[in-house]
């Protein structure tokens, strides 16, 4: 009998897999993957289980737990940076804590995100103004197509808002079926003293232009440690750091992505709905076939404009308050944050899914916008 996934996922649901393999070295990981790929069995790798929703029924396949840990300084970083090579199973927050103590900047605002370092590129984790795409140099990937380990630059991973080519989005296979065995980050050497925080996104997220404008030392400066502590304090107030004593943290983090809609759709929403414009991508150059070209150059097209809107606001204004649950269900929205669906104790996956369906239907009925889930679903349909 294998360990049920409800004991290995932060939302605390999921049946037992037919097979479970613990990989404590890269060699064991490569061997386990190749064995699974050689069979026709279904498979997936498990890190910290903090971005997963797994069905109640037994998983008829192999789950490979990535338990490789550790990190070290390696050569190759540009001047002013340190390169850190990290094993996939390394606990993410322990890595962040170490970087803060070492005076290395780049991941401090991502303090408190649960799970493993190897899973961080899968959805380009981000929080409070930082995303891993800003520091990630490369990943060591084991591709299903070849079974081999290669080093792949971050630029080939299609990292975007909560996405990459490696992510198994709801209802789809990943663009590239591969497993991260390790990763390399370039972190800036800044030391441990308070200093001016120049990144506007971090300033905004931490209130350095508002409620916390005095910063750490009264003059608006902040050390990496202050940023880490402040982020963890804000996250705890929203139930977004794991705490066994707080049922609001028994979740898979944000359950829905902030939807990205056209400017026209965004204009139909009330002005108070928080929104963030997405920079338009440069339009591809127009290419003409000289054999057939009639000499007319069409005027340049206006780039399409998109806007990210707040899923939490849409949920709350569709009438679903913090703590909302369906009658008799053990799943509710977090009492601190409408974007998280929580297991209040003993919930089954189906109770989580039923609430997620209800939220989606309400938001679609009220605003005509479809919310898409952020966690990876295994055997679950909405």
Ligand X SMILES: Cc1cc2nc3c(=O)[nH]c(=O)nc-3n(C[C@H](O)[C@H](O)[C@H](O)COP(=O)(O)OP(=O)(O)OC[C@H]3O[C@@H](n4cnc5c(N)ncnc54)[C@H](O)[C@@H]3O)c2cc1C
User: Which chain residues interact with ligand X by CB under 6 A?
Assistant: 10, 44-52, 66, 88, 113-116, 118-120, 122-123, 125-127, 166, 168, 179-180, 240, 242, 249, 251-253, 376
- CB nearer to ligand X: give 168 or 195: 168
Closest to ligand X by CB, 104 or 139:
139
In the block, residue with structure tokens 């929205």: 333
**Smallest gap, in angstroms, from Cβ of residue 127 to ligand X?**
4
Residue with Cβ nearer ligand X (138 or 249): 249
Which of the residues 87, 131, 351, 374 is marked catalytic? Answer: 374
Q: How far is the CB of 318 from ligand X (least distance, A)?
A: 23
Nearer to ligand X, 201 or 267 (CB): 201
Report yes or no: 32 and 332 within 8 Å, Cβ to Cβ: no
Task: Say if residues 259 and 278 touch (Cβ distance below 8 Å).
Answer: no
Minimum gap (Å) between residue 133 Cβ and ligand X: 11
Catalytic site residue from 162, 203, 348, 360: 162
Backbone angles phi, psi at 361, to 5 degrees: -65, -40
Least distance (Å) between residue 137 CB and ligand X: 16
Instruction: Say if CB 324 and CB 342 are below 8 A apart.
Output: no
The verdict on whether 374 is a catalytic residue reads: yes
Tokens of 141: 């990937």
Decide: helix, strand or coil at residue 37. helix
CB of 314 to ligand X, least distance (A): 19
Q: Of 50, 99, 254, 334, which one is the catalytic site residue?
A: 254
Taking CA 164 as the corner, what is the angle to CA 158 and CA 165, rounded to the nearest 5 degrees?
Answer: 80
Q: Which residue is associated with the tokens 């070849």? A: 146
Q: At what angle are helices 92-101 and 224-237 packed, to 10 degrees?
A: 150
Clarify whether 83 is annotated catalytic.
no
Q: Between 181 and 261, name the residue whose CB sits nearer to ligand X.
A: 181
What token pair was written down for 260? 């990205």
Rounded least distance, CB 238 to ligand X, Å? 9
Q: Whose CA is closest to 300, among 281, 288, 286, 280? A: 286
Task: Report the residue number, 85 or 376, with the smaller CB distance to ligand X.
Answer: 376
The span from the CA of 34 to the CA of 43, in Å, is: 11
Answer whether 344's CB lies under 8 Å from 301's CB.
no
**Annotated catalytic residue 254:** yes
Are the CB atoms for 124 and 154 separated by under 8 Å? no
Q: Which residues are catalytic?
A: 162, 254, 374
């Amino acid at each position: 009998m294998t360990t049920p996934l409800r004991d290995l996922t932060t939302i605390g649901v999921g049946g037992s897999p037919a097979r479970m393999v613990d990989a404590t070295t890269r060699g064991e990981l490569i061997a386990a993957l190749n064995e699974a790929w050689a069979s026709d069995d279904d498979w997936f790798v498990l890190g910290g289980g903090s971005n997963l929703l797994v069905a109640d029924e037994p998983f008829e396949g192999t789950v490979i737990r990535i338990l490789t840990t550790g990190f070290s300084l390696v050569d190759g970083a540009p001047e002013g940076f340190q390169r850190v090579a990290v094993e996939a199973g390394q606990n993410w927050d322990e890595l962040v804590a170490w970087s803060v103590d070492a005076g290395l900047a780049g991941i401090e605002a991502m303090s408190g995100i649960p799970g493993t370092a190897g899973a961080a590129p899968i959805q380009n984790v981000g929080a409070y103004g930082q995303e891993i795409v800003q520091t990630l140099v490369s990943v060591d990937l084991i591709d299903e197509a070849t079974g081999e380990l290669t080093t792949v630059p971050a630029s080939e991973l299609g990292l975007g808002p909560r996405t990459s080519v490696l992510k198994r989005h709801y209802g789809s296979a990943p663009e590239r079926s591969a497993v991260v065995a390790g990763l390399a980050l370039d972190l800036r050497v800044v030391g441990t003293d308070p200093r001016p925080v120049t990144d506007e996104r971090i300033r905004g997220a931490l209130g350095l232009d508002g409620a916390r404008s005095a910063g750490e030392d009264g003059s608006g400066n902040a050390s990496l440690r202050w940023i880490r502590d402040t982020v963890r304090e804000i996250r705890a107030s929203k139930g977004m750091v794991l705490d066994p004593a707080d049922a609001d943290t028994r979740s898979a983090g944000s359950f829905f992505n902030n939807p990205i809609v056209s400017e026209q759709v965004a204009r139909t929403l009330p002005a108070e709905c928080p929104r963030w414009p997405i920079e338009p991508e440069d339009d591809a150059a127009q290419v003409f076939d000289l054999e057939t070209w009639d000499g007319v150059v069409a005027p340049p097209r206006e780039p399409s404009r998109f806007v990210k809107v707040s899923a939490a606001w849409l949920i709350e204004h569709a009438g679903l308050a913090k703590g909302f649950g369906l009658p008799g269900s053990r799943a509710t929205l977090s009492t601190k944050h409408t974007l998280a669906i929580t297991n209040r104790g003993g919930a089954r996956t189906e109770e989580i899914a039923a609430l997620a369906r209800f939220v989606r239907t309400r938001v679609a009925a009220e605003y005509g916008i479809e919310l898409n889930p952020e966690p990876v679903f295994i055997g679950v349909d909405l």
